[in-house]
Amino acid sequence: MHEMAIAQGILDIVLKTAAENDATKVTGIKLLIGQMTQIQPESLQFGFEALSIGSIAEGANLEIKIVPLVGQCNSCRQEFSIERYCFVCPHCNSTSVHLVSGRELTVEYLEVE
Amino acid sequence: MQIKVMTNILDSNDQVAAAVHERLSAAGIFVINLLGSPGCGKTSLLENTIAGLKNEISMAVIEGDLFTAKDAERIEQYGVPVVQINTGGGCHLDANMVNNVLDSLDLRALDLIVIENVGNLVCPAEFNIGEDVKVTVLSITEGEDKPLKYPLIFKQASVVILNKVDLLPYTSFDMQAAITDITSINPDALLVQASCRSGVGLPAWYDWLKEQIRIKQARSM
C-alpha cells in the first residue's frame, strides 16, 4: 500500500505548483503512470482523496494515463513493446536494451481556477 | 487554466536518496538495499555474510522492520553496529528514514552498509534510499512464478540470490524456469544459487561483494 506515499508526493507537488501560480482551486490533475510501476489506480485515488481533504485540491479529478512499456535495442536501435517483461530485443536477440517508457510516475499538468 | 508540471512524483525522495548516497560515497562506503519477501532469508544472508567476511571488511547494518527489533537483535549478536528503523506499519523504507539514522553510525570506520528493507516484493522496489545497488533474495519455497509476478524488484536488482537450494528436492520449484524469467527481465543481474543453511553458493556472493567494495574505495580515493 505504498500508494499512500505516492499520493502524498502528488499532493505536495500539486499544492506547491498551485501556490506558485496563485491558484485558489485545483479542479483536475493529470498523471502519467508507467506500466512497470506498481500502482493500483483505485488505491491511489482513495489515498489522494483522503489526503487532500481540507486543501484547495479537495475534490480534484485525478486522471491517470498508463504509459506502455517500450524498450529500444542498443545494438540494432529498433524500438519495441516489451511483452512479459522480456528485456531481450525481439529483432536481433541483443540483451542490451534500454527503457524508452514505462517507468513514469509524473504529474503532467493541473487544471486550476 | 492549465499549468504544465511534468514533475516526477518521487523527486523529493530521490533528492534525499542522492544526498545520502553522496555522503556515504564520500566516506568510501558501499551500500546495499537488501530486498525480498518476509522469510526469504534476508537476515540469514546477513548473518552468513557477517560471519564470513567480518575479519576482512568493516560493516554495519540498518534494519527496516514494521514494528519489531527481532532482526536487529539477531544481527547484534555478531558484533557489528546495527541501527533499527521501525516504519510503524509502513510497507517500505524511504530515503528520509535512512538519512535520519546515519548520524548514529561511525561512517569513517565502515566499508559496507547493508540496509535490510521491509519484507515485501512490491513497495520497496519503487523507493531509492541512497544505495549503490539493490540485491533481491528469492527463496525456493516461494515458487518460480514470482519474478514474472513482481518483475520490478528483479529488474532493479544487481544481484538475485536464489536462497534455500537445499530444499530443492522437497519442492516442485522449476529452477530452469526461474533462471529463464529472471534473465529475461534483467539480463545484467548476477544470479547466485545458494543456501544460507548449508553455506553452499555463498562464496560467489562474497567474491562479488569484496570486488564491489574494492571498486568503490578505489573511486573515492
Q: What's the structural domain count of chain B?
A: 1
- Would you say residue B2 lies in a domain? no
- Would you say residue B1 lies in a domain? no
- Would you say residue B8 lies in a domain? no
Residue B196 has pLDDT above 90, yes or no: yes
Mean pLDDT of the region B124-152: 97
Domains and CATH numbers, chain A: 3-69+101-112 (3.30.2320.50)
Mean pLDDT of the region B47-67: 96
Contact between residue B5 and residue A105 where contact means Cβ atoms under 8 Å apart: no
The residue among B3, B96, B117, B152 with the most chain A CBs within 10 A of its CB, best to mutate, is B3
| pLDDT mean across residues, chain B | 97
Of the candidates B5, B94, B152, the beta carbon closest to that of A13 is on B5
Contact between residue B33 and residue B117 where contact means Cβ atoms under 8 Å apart: yes
* B184/A85 touch (CB, cutoff 8 Å), yes or no: yes
Residue B92 has pLDDT above 80, yes or no: yes
pTM equals: 0.95
pLDDT, residue A91, reads 97
Minimal C-alpha gap between A80 and chain B (Å): 15
Mean pLDDT of the region B155-163: 98
Q: How many CB pairs under 8 A join A and B?
A: 94
Confidence category of residue B221, pLDDT binned at 50, 70, 90:
confident
pLDDT, residue B195, reads 98
Confidence category of residue B135, pLDDT binned at 50, 70, 90:
very high
Mean pLDDT of the region B151-167: 98
Residue A17 has pLDDT above 90, yes or no: yes
* A chain contacts of residue B151, beta-carbon cutoff 8 Å: 36, 85
Quick one: what percent of chain A has pLDDT higher than 90?
97
* B chain contacts of residue A85, beta-carbon cutoff 8 Å: 148, 151, 155, 184-185
Mean pLDDT of the region A79-107: 96
* A6/B9 touch (CB, cutoff 8 Å), yes or no: yes
- Would you say residue B5 lies in a domain? no
pLDDT, residue B46, reads 98
pLDDT, residue B220, reads 82
Residue A1 has pLDDT above 80, yes or no: no
* B187/A87 touch (CB, cutoff 8 Å), yes or no: yes
Minimal C-alpha gap between A50 and chain B (Å): 17
- Would you say residue B156 lies in a domain? yes
Residues of chain A in Cβ contact (below 8 Å) with chain B: 1-2, 5-6, 9-10, 12-13, 17-18, 21, 23, 31, 36-38, 84-88, 95-97, 105-113
Q: Which residue has cell 529452477?
A: B175
- Would you say residue B143 lies in a domain? yes
The CATH number given to whatever domain includes residue B88 is 3.40.50.300
ipTM of the complex: 0.91
- Would you say residue B160 lies in a domain? yes
| pLDDT mean across residues, chain A | 96
What range does the domain containing B62 cover? 13-216
